[in-house]
Amino acid sequence: MERCARVHRFTLILCIFLCAAACADGFAQAPPAKGTPPATPRAERILDQRDATPLAAPATPQKTETEKYTLSQDRYEKAIAYSRAGYTLYFVMSFFDVLVMILVLKLGVAAKFRDFAENLSGSRFLQGLVYIPVLVLTLDVLDLPLRLYGHSLSLRYEQSVQRWGSWMWDWAKAELLGTAFAVILVVILYAVMRRSPRRWWLYFWFASLPIIFVIVFVSPWFIDPLFNKFEPLDAKHPELVTEIEKVVQRAGLQIPRERMFLMQASEKTNRINAYVTGFGASKRVVVWDTTIQKTTTPETLFIFGHEAGHYKLGHIRDGFIFFAALLLVTFYAGFRGMHWALDRWARDWRIYGPEDWASLALFLLLLQVVIFAASPLINGFSRMQEHAADVYGLEVIHGIVPDSPEVAAHAFQVMGEVDLSDPNPPAFITFWLYSHPPLADRLVFAHTYDPWSKGEPPKYVK
C-alpha cells in the first residue's frame, strides 16, 4: 500500500514491521517497493476492445471462465513498462540512499551537523532535538527527486490521480510525523547507548517494542486519517455490509458493522485494494471505494473474505512477533557493524564513538543495508500469509457466493488489469520484491481450489 510507504526514513527502517503488522499488506500491493504479483504461468496477450473501455466503470462478470490472467495488447505493454520502471526505481533508490549516507559520513557532513548542534547548546537533550531533525530531513530532501519521479510514473500510467500539490502536502505531513517519531526513538536510543555501551541493542529493542505497538494501535485513529478520508462502510453501502455480515457469520468472527470502513481512495488513485489494520479496539477492515466501483458485490465479498482471513488467522499478531524478532537481529547487526566501522574510519569521519550524535548516520546506513538484505525473508513471510488468506477467502465464501472459484479468479483478473500487474517479471524480482504470490498463480489457484468435490476437508473454514 502507498499508505505504508509514506513513512519517514528512520521510522521506515526502525519500524519496518509496523506496516506489515498494521496493513497485513492488503489484498494488493503498490510498486515499486513491493512490486505487483507476476504472472505464472505466463500471462497471455489478447487483442480485444477493452483498450477503449473506461476502467472506472463497474466490472461485469465474464461469460467465459477466467482460467488464466490475460491482458489486452495495450495494457500488456503498459504493464511491462510500468513494472520495469518501478523495479528499476526501487533498486536505484535503495542504492542511492546508501550512497548518500556514505557520502554524509565520508565528507564529514554528519560531524558538521553535530558541531552545529553542540555549539547551540551544552545540553545533550537539546543537541538531539537539533541534530536529529537536521540529519534526517537532509537525507529525505536529497532523495525527494527520486520520489517525485516515482509519482510521475504513477501519473503517466494512470495509477494515480493525485495532483502535485496534494502529493507534496502528504509528503510534508509524513516528514513532520516521521521526524517526531525519529526524535523520540533516537533520543531513547542514544540514552540507552550511554547507559549500556555493550547491551544497548537489547535494551533499546525492549524499549522500542511498546512504542511501536502504540503506533500500530493508534494509527487507524490518528495517523491514517491524515492521508485519506474514512467513513463507515454502512453509511454508503448498507446492502454490501449486509452481504458482508453473512461472510462474518460464516467465519465466526466478531467484526461489527462499525468496524468496517470505506476509504476514499479514488481521490488519489485508480488502484483497488483492501486491508486490515490495528490491534484490539482499533482493529478494523478497510475497503477502498475504487474496489467497490470496479468489482462486483460477489468479488468484493471474496476480497473481504481474504481480509477476514488475516483477521481470523492472527496475521497481525504473527506479523508483529516475526518482525519484532527480525528487529532484534537488525539491532544486534547494527551494534556489531558500528563497532567494526568505527574501528576503521572513526578518525576519517570525525566520530568520537558510538554515543556521538554523528554516529546516527552510520546507524541508519547499517539498518538500511540489513533491511534491504532481509527483503527476501520479509516478503517470503508475507507471501506465506497472503496465500493463507487467499485460501481462507475462498473457503469462507463457498456456499454463500455462487460459482465462488470463478468469482475469485475474475477478481484477480480485474485487479491485474486495473493495477497493471506485471505479466512476466524475472524470477529474481519475484523472490526479492513481491509481498504476495504471483497474481496468475493466485488466479489459477482460485479457479481450481475445490476440496469439497474431492471429498477433502477445507483447511480453515469447516
Q: Which residues are catalytic?
A: 307
Is 269 within 8 Å of 161 (Cβ atoms)? yes
One-letter identity of residue 412: F
What are the residues whose beta carbons fall under 8 Å from the beta carbon of 192, sequence distance 6 or more?
200, 203, 204, 207
Nearest CA to 12 out of 169, 148, 175, 205 is that of: 175
- Decide if 136 contacts 361 (C-beta within 8 A): no
Task: Please report the beta strands in 84-144, taking only residues with DSSP state E, as ranges in sequence order.
Answer: none
Contact 245, 253 (CB under 8 A): no
Grid coordinates in use for 282? 482499533
Query: By three-state DSSP, how is residue 286 classified?
Result: strand
Cβ-contact 207, 368 below 8 angstroms = no
The Cα–Cα gap between 27 and 61 comes to: 20
Q: How far apart are CA 84 and CA 81, in angstroms?
A: 5
- Picking from 9, 350, 364, the residue whose alpha carbon sits closest to that of residue 190 is 364
The residue count for the chain: 462
Grid cell 467465519 in the structure block, residue: 251
Residues contacting 184, CB < 8 A, separation 6+: 211
